[in-house]
Structure 1
Amino acid sequence: MKTNLEKMLTLPCSFTYKVIGLSNPELVNKVIKVIQTYIPGDYSPQTKLSNKGNYISISVTIFAKNFTQIEKLYFELSKINMVKLVL
């Protein structure tokens, strides 16, 4: 059975993840390392600090060939200890 997200996507396609986590200089590198493990390539993450500087949001766009890649990256990114939310 297809999920709503699966129904909305026409693959292959560009797909953007937004990762929100604790503001730590290592977090961006950890996010990119996880993505590179599953979908090698050059990535240019966009970052934004929260108003108080406690959290950072990291947006990274990938080119997904199948829905399994998208699901796997959601799961793997959420396992990073500083990550609070993956959208």
Structure 2
Amino acid sequence: MSDEDSIEFQFPCDFPIKVMGAALPEFHQRVEEIIRRHVPEVGADAFSSRASSAGRYVSITVVIQAQSRAQLDDIYRDLTSCELVTMAL
């Protein structure tokens, strides 16, 4: 068991999710749709984005109020199954 597997969270808690993908116009919209499906109350100010140095990729960070491990698992499952998402951390 790695150290990461043994981390215990106290829910609810603020939890940052970072999503990376190609800098396409629909990328941000799709990520926001996925997050809002699981956390409808998340505000627009919870999202921030940053372009890569060459501008080909973008990372989006959103801080949510996580309610459970199952909720986080569902969010990551949906994000990683999206064809526009390269990586979700």
TM range (shorter): 0.7 to 0.9
Task: Give the match for residue 80 of structure 2.
Answer: 78
Aligned residues: 85
CA contact (8 A) 1:11 1:64 kept: yes
Gaps of 5+ in 2: none
Q: Structure 1 length normalisation: TM-score?
A: 0.88
- Aligned partner of 1:65 among 55, 67, 89: 67
Q: Which blocks of at least 5 consecutive residues in structure 1 are unaligned?
A: none
TM-score for both structures, normalised by structure 2: 0.86
Aligned to 1:33: 33
- Equivalent residue number for residue 13 of structure 1: 13
What are the Cα deviations for residues 47-80 of structure 1, in whole angstroms up to 9, with x where unaligned? 0000111100000011111110011101101111
